Every structure is written in C-alpha cells, then in structure tokens.
Amino acid sequence: MKKSIIVIKILFLLTWTQTNGQKEDQSAVNQLIIVTNHSGPVISKDIYGHFSEHLGNCIYGGLWVGTDSKIPNTYGIRNDVLFALREIKVPNLRWPGGCFADTYHWKDGIGPKERRASIINTNWGGVTEDNSFGTHEFMKLTELLGCDAYINGNVGSGSVKEMADWIEYLTSGAVSPMTSLRKENGQDKPWKVKYFAIGNENWGCGGNMTAEFYSNTMKQYSTFLGNYSGNQLYRVACGPSDYNFGWTETLMKDAGTREMFQGLSIHYYSVVDGWGFKGSATKFDEREWFETMRLNLQMDNIIKGHSAIMDRYDPEKTKGLVVDEWGNWYNVEPGTNPGFLYQQNSMRDAVTAAIHLNIFNQHADRVKAANLAQMVNVLQSVILTKDDKMVLTPTYWVFRMFRVHQEATLLNIDLRCEDYVYGNKKIPAISASASVDKDGKVHISLANLNPDKPITITCPVIGDSFKKITGEVLTATQMNSYNSFENPDIVKPVAFNGFTMKDGILSITMPSKSVVVLELIK
C-alpha cells in the first residue's frame, strides 16, 4: 500500500472518530491506529535491562547463595532465580550499584574468598559486606544469564587509576600486571563488557558534585578507559535525576565533553506522597493508585525534555539516554530492615511496568537502555525470595509478556483514548505501543490504567492482513492483589480472547487494571 493511501486512511479514521463519536460516551473515542508497513527505529533489547545492587537481599540470598548452600545452585547462583530470569530474556544487568558503587573498591572482591576484605555497607543498613560476590561472580552470573554486563565505576570515592585498572583486568588480553592478576584468580581469557558507567548519582550520593565539576571529572576518567582486545565500551556518563535539565545541558553543550561518552543516564522513581512517607506497597486506596499512575506517565515528559536538549547538540542521535534506575518506591514491608528496601509487588506495579516499557518503546530513537530497580528483593523487583522459596511478582510477568518487543521494529501508532478521572485530576486511561519482529509478527501491548472500568478500544490495522491472533492478559480481582510465598499465583497471565477482528479492525475489550499483549500473524 502506498504511503499516500495510508495517510488518507488514517485521516479518514480520525475524522470519523471525531464526528461520529458519541459525545456523552467517552468509550467511543478509544482508538489505536497501527500502520504495520510504516515503521520506526529498532527497539533496543537493552531497554528491558535490570539492576542488581549490594543492597538488602538482592545479591546475598536473592541471586547468590554460594557454592556450599543447600539451595540448588550453579557456581553459587541459585538455580530457581537463574531459570526464571532466563525466561524473561534479561538483556543486560547493572552492578554493583547504585550508591553502593560510590564506595565500592573492586579489588576487595577478587581472589580467594577467605582473603577478601570485609567492609561496612554504609549506604544500605550498615551491615558487613564480606565481598564474597565480586567481579568474577558477577561476570559468571551474566554468562549464565546470557546477558551483557553493565558495570558501574566508582567516581565518588575511587580514583582514575582504580577504574582504569578494572577495565584492563576485565577486558585486556595483553600481558600486564592486571591481566596476570586476573589469570591468577582463575580467568584466563578476558571478558566482554558492553556498558560501563562513569559514576553514579554524582549530584547526590556519588559526591554531591555540580554539573560543571562532574563534567570535567568524567572527561578525566573517560580518557583512561581503554578499549582492549576488541571490546568496545559504551561509556555512560552520570546524567540527571528527574527534571534536572540543566545537568543535561551542561554535559551536552560542549563537543569535547560529548566525545567522552556514548550514553547519558537518567534516574526517576515514582513516589506518591514524597520521600518522607512513601506509602504501603499493598495497603493503598484509589487515590494512591491514581497518583502512582500519574507519576508513572511523567516519565514521558522527562524523556521528551532531556531528548529535546540532546537533539539540539546531537540531532543525529548518536548519544543514547540510559534510564538505568526506574520504578515505584514505597515504604519497606513492616518488620524488615529499613535499609534493605524490601517491598511487596502488586497489580499496581504490573501496570507501572507496562506504562514505562511502552514509553521506552515509543522513544526507541533516543532511549537505548533502561534498568528496572531492582532485580530481586529490592524495590520494584521481578523476584522475591525467602530461604529456599521464590515467588514471581506481577512485574516479572509484564517483562515476560513484553519480551516480544526486544530488537523488534517500532510501529507508528496514533492513540486516542478516554481519560481516567479521579477528583479534579485526569490522565489517559490507556498506555500502548506496537512493534513488528524479524518474522513479521506484530505485537501490541496495552495497559488499562483504570482500576474499576473495563475499556473497549478499536484498533484499525493498516498495511497488512493477518490470519491468526493470540493474546495474554494480566489482571487481578483487586488493585492491590499480589503474589506471596503462601499464594504465589494470584497475579499471573492467562490466555486472552477478549477481541474480534473484522475488515482489518480489531476490537479489544480490556479488563479493568490490566495489561494485554496481542500477537498478529500473517
């Protein structure tokens, strides 16, 4: 179909919606137009990345139990968690922090375990860190997961030499003191490291620096981060938090500074009532649900704002945005260590994950990687563990459902939808994105943000016809439904058949508070 004909059809459909939609029935305006042969950029698989910090039980007890544990493991990595993470196709894993990275000295975590230095985790709970999980264990974890390593270097309390030595230790195949040390510790061949961050939150726990000071420091560190033995580092500069557009401006405006990094990080957490009291993960009302959804949607404006600055100095989009910390942040579960950030994960978090992943997909031209905070037992995790038990959270299932978008090509869509209204505030009731994979399969991901109302949306599919449609839906009886160790399958995806297809137009009825993914096969 010629592009001009596609445009005419789209204009006709939009006009029909505006003139024939029932003014008193908002459901009539719910329409998602998808053009299957007018595609956009490739959605980087690394948008679906994860984050593992030495924080609470993310590493110890969550990912790592040690080779002597009675819990089944492979090289000390617990098997149940490992197999579950493989299922969602984790593309990259960020480590060792977070704020922990700002105090981490990598040589403490190599060599025989009985000789490794114990330290105090000053950021998270003041507990003793024995460094039994270090560089070799992390790289083994990425190998077992089949994912890329994203290592965060210590700018806050480290040194240029320390960071340069780490890169050499990890990636060089030449003969040198660092490579000899690596071989002594059991790794003959160099590893591949894709992402390397030059500091973490240097505007805060990473040194309380100004943007100007960090910019100069970053250039100094980056100068000594070598590309060894065919390994090509994607250097991630510490970017801003939330709406700090001035930080992005400082790092982007100077061409010499831009040359020293390939990606710029962004951190954003949805915190309903401020950092003093963040609310419960499971005991909340509709106001808190609505505010969470509203804050989730702000990610779109944050990305647009930073992208606009980057576009002025980098119109070819050679620099990527790396949203390497995102998610919901609540009060810790009652009775747990406040410094461990352990929280439950409900249907609210599932919709949050869908909103963010749809937004990242839509900005695939600029967003090249992202990392949910965090992987296991911390904040909005995909897995919870307790001794030898494991539970998959609602957020886990969204990542499993959305894995079909990895390395697929973004499709152009036009979404018109009703509002979800609470009090005197309103937000769009639907979140969506669509892609086509290398086999020509089209995938549509949708979320209904309204916790009380099913929504029907019409979906004209222009450009191709399809012989088979299948789908999955994730929903629950209550907006605060969650999976526990006693009842691990309360929130779990099931087959979805709430759709019809006639004359190239899909009609989809989404349950309230739901996430839906459809697959269309030619």
CA distance 406 to 43: 6
CA distance 226 to 235: 11
Give the dihedral of Cα atoms 322, 57, 381, 305; nearest 10 deg: -30
Per the listing, tokens 């040359």 go with 259
CA distance 180 to 169: 8
Bridge-based pairing state of the strands 425-428 and 419-422: antiparallel
Q: Among residues 59, 2, 73, 63, which one has the least CA distance to residue 35?
A: 2
CA distances from 217 to 160, 198, 210, 220, 238 (A): 9, 9, 11, 5, 11
Q: Is 515:446 a contact under the CB 8 Å cutoff? A: yes
Q: Which residues contact 439 (CB under 8 A, 6 or more apart)?
A: none
Q: Among residues 516, 401, 510, which one has the least CA distance to residue 451?
A: 510
Q: 96: cis peptide before it, omega within 30°? A: yes
Per the listing, tokens 């059991």 go with 186
HSE of 448, CA atoms in CB hemisphere, 13 A: 23
Q: Among residues 488, 483, 476, which one has the least CA distance to residue 513?
A: 476
201 carries an active-site annotation: yes
Could you give the 3-state DSSP secondary structure of residue 6?
helix
Q: Which helix (H) or strand (E) covers residue 462, if one does?
A: strand 455-462
Q: Is 350:401 a contact under the CB 8 Å cutoff? A: no
Q: Is 400:497 a contact under the CB 8 Å cutoff? A: no
Q: Which of 201, 288, 291, 418 is catalytic?
A: 201
Q: 98: cis peptide before it, omega within 30°? A: yes
CA distance 275 to 406: 33
Burial label for 213, CB within 10 Å (0-12, 13-18, 19+), is middle
Q: Which residues of 168-192 are buried (b: 16+ CB within 10 A; e: fewer)?
A: bbbbbeeeeebbebbeeeebeebbb
Active centre residues (catalytic): 201, 325
